[in-house]
Amino acid sequence: MKISNLNLNHSKWMDYQLTLDNQILTSQNLKYLFTKFWSEVISNNLTNDQFILIQLKIKLSNGLFRSISHVQTVKNTDYETLLESFKIFWEIKSEEYHILKLDSIIFTYKILPLDSEIKQTKISPHPNIKTAISPFLNLGGYNLPISMDLTR
């Protein structure tokens, strides 16, 4: 795997590209590549209070680029949460993504300055992931069972 030039320029979008050498992208490969990116760019170069915007992309062997995740806002301490989010985004992609020849994986990122207006982590879930539905209906401050017949 080859690594593109590392340049830590604040307030500018950068690409950290890793060539896959005709490998299939699995969860284990994704974890290895993400860990490589995180250790070389994030953990050694950012403070724990500094935020970064990041998006996972792939480059196909025909030269086309595809975004895999939404842009996420994270801190240096959000490694595990972001990795799990990227794995979920990859696993939910259609079978077509898993059989295409990939040229490389790209982490597009922007390091925000310490005085940035962003003050909290925001990891957006995949829209196909449903949150659990509450078994209660809140009506006038009372939690009523959803199965309750309100017409009686």
Q: Which of 70, 73, 106 is nearest to 89 (CA)?
A: 70
In order of their start, the domains of the chain are 14-124 (3.30.1490.100)
In percent, the amount of the chain with pLDDT more than 70 equals: 76
| Residue 3: pLDDT over 70 | no
pLDDT of residue 80: 93
Which residues are CB-contacts of 3 (< 8 A; sequence separation ≥ 6)?
Answer: 16, 17, 18, 36, 40
Q: Please identify which residue in the block is written with the tokens 């970064």.
A: 52
* pLDDT score of 52: 92
pLDDT at 83: 94
Cβ pair 123, 51 in contact under 8 A: no
pLDDT of the residue at 5: 41
Q: Which residues are bridge partners to 19 per DSSP?
A: 104
Supply the Cα-derived Rg of the chain in whole angstroms.
20
Mean pLDDT of the chain: 81
What average pLDDT score do residues 19-39 get? 88
Q: Quick one: which H or E segment has residue 99?
A: helix 95-99
Task: Report the pLDDT value the prediction gives residue 43, as an integer from 0 to 100.
Answer: 85
Q: pLDDT band at residue 91, thresholds of 50, 70 and 90?
A: confident
Provide mean pLDDT across the span 86-93.
Answer: 86
- 86 φ/ψ angles, rounded to the nearest 5 degrees: -65, -40
Rounded distance between C-alpha atoms, residue 130 and residue 71, angstroms:
19
φ, ψ of residue 37 to 5 degrees: the values are: -60, -50
pLDDT at residue 57, rounded to an integer: 96
Helix (H) or strand (E) holding 144: strand 142-145
pLDDT greater at residue 35 or residue 136: 35
